[in-house]
Amino acid sequence: MELRSGTAFWPLKNGLLYTYPPLGQNERADVLVIGAGITGALVADALTEAGLDVVVLDRRDAGFGSTSASTALLQYEIDTNLVDLTRMIGQRDAERAYLLCRDAIDRLEALTRTLPDNCGFQRPGSLYYASRSRDSRLLQAEYAARTRAGLQVEFLSGPEVQERFGLRAPAALFSPAGAQLDPYRLTQHLLQRVQARGARVYDRTEVTELEATQNGYVAHTARAARVQARRVVVAAGYEAERFAGQRLARLKNTYALVTEPLPEAQKPWPTSCLIWETARPYLYARTTAEGRILIGGEDDDHHSPARRDRRLPAKQRRLERRLEKLLPGLKTEVAFAWAGTFGETPDGLAFIGPQPGNPCLLFALGYGGNGITYSVQAARLLTDHLLGRPAPDLRLFRLDR
């Protein structure tokens, strides 16, 4: 599957930070992690920190899957509003899912402090605006639900949104927890650290088959070599279904662009917070440390890499027009535009945990708009699970829910 079209921004900005060899000889490990994107890197980091021996394999260059296409807004607010999630899974579990995503942002901040640089981590907060006047009531209900859950959030009227953020919207919620980072850089720094702890990372090595054995699995690859492991964690992003043997997510095409840096000191909107809206599919925007605007959305309701390639120029123009409408009078120039595969689950929650009935095969699949915050929780929960420690939150994300 082609996961991306166009020119993804992060690998260009960073350059090829580090490279890894393909698998050239048979390997043996406690845990094989399939996928060296941000999820696989976070999982491998947590597992090696816990003292487990790990091998990571990726069929592409490490970090070159969806991770390099991600706009990397870090939000506790998942694509399903808390009010709606409560209706689907009950108040206790819905609130727990939101609180876990908030906790994931704190964990990421702490994690970036332990790396050679902060991987562009910034916490400007997140503004969720009403796309239409009638969505103001939705935001009021959402405000009440989030406040009840113990989340820090402000309800802003239209004039308050204009005054504080320079945007025209009927109403909005502001959440100070919202953050952003450079996902490719974080992935690479984590992979370097897991290597330093003794793990082996190989890319350009596709896992073609998992053969169950008495003690775990033998992973066969498209190269001559194999990996024998007691446990396998599938962090293969939107290509994971072949290992799950079941349909897990609804795949879609999604589009994004990044502008050239704005002149120094020109903030496109006060506080440079993350922005997104109540409409579905939603438009979203953030800035980068060097003063660019990243904007995305315009999702198709289907998944077709070929069609995505063809549609990219038109989608780019639509995103440009929407940016002009959001920030009238601001002069911007598009630097790169790209598109990617994106997966949604019916409840907006990730799939994390063992395959039902099979404790040796585990999944770390951060499907949904805040895939990255889910990946952080996947790393924590799967490590606890593999070490035999209680991981009650896995219940929320189980594959057979």
Give the footprint of ligand FAD on this chain (CB under 6 A).
3, 34-40, 57-60, 64-67, 69-73, 206-207, 235-237, 239, 254, 256, 296, 340, 342, 366, 370-373, 375
CB of 234 to ligand FAD, least distance (A): 8
Work out how close the CB of 399 gets to ligand FAD at its nearest, in angstroms, rounded to a whole number. 15
Cα angle for residues 131, 132, 133 (degrees, 5° grid): 135
* Backbone torsions φ then ψ of 113, nearest 5 degrees: -70, -20
Cβ 148 to ligand FAD shortest distance, Å: 25
Question: Which C-beta is closer to ligand FAD: that of 64 or that of 174?
Answer: 64
- Given the structure tokens 């994971």, which residue do they identify? 240
Please state the closest distance from residue 276 (CB atom) to ligand FAD, in A.
9
Output the DSSP codes for 40-55. Answer: HHHHHHHHHHTT--EE
Nearer to ligand FAD, 136 or 187 (CB): 187
- Residue of closest CB approach to ligand FAD: 371
- Taking the least distance from each CB to ligand FAD, the nearer of 86 and 126 is 126
User: Among 252, 263, 278, which residue's Cα sits nearest to residue 136?
Assistant: 278
Q: What are the residues whose beta carbons fall under 8 Å from the beta carbon of 78, sequence distance 6 or more?
A: 85, 97, 98, 101, 348, 349, 368, 369, 370
Q: Residue 394 CB, nearest distance to ligand FAD (Å)?
A: 17
The kind and range of the H/E element at 22 are none
* Residue with Cβ nearer ligand FAD (58 or 142): 58
Minimum CB distance to ligand FAD smaller for 72 or for 248: 72
Rounded least distance, CB 191 to ligand FAD, Å: 11
Q: C-alpha angle with apex 134: 129 to 140, nearest 5 degrees?
A: 60
CB of 379 to ligand FAD, least distance (A): 11
280 burial level (CB within 10 Å; 0-12, 13-18, 19+):
exposed
In angstroms and rounded to an integer, the radius of gyration of the C-alpha atoms of the chain is 21
Strands (E), 235-291: 250-259, 274-277, 284-287
For ligand FAD, the closer CB: 38 or 130: 38
The smaller minimum CB distance to ligand FAD, of residues 156 and 376, is found at: 376
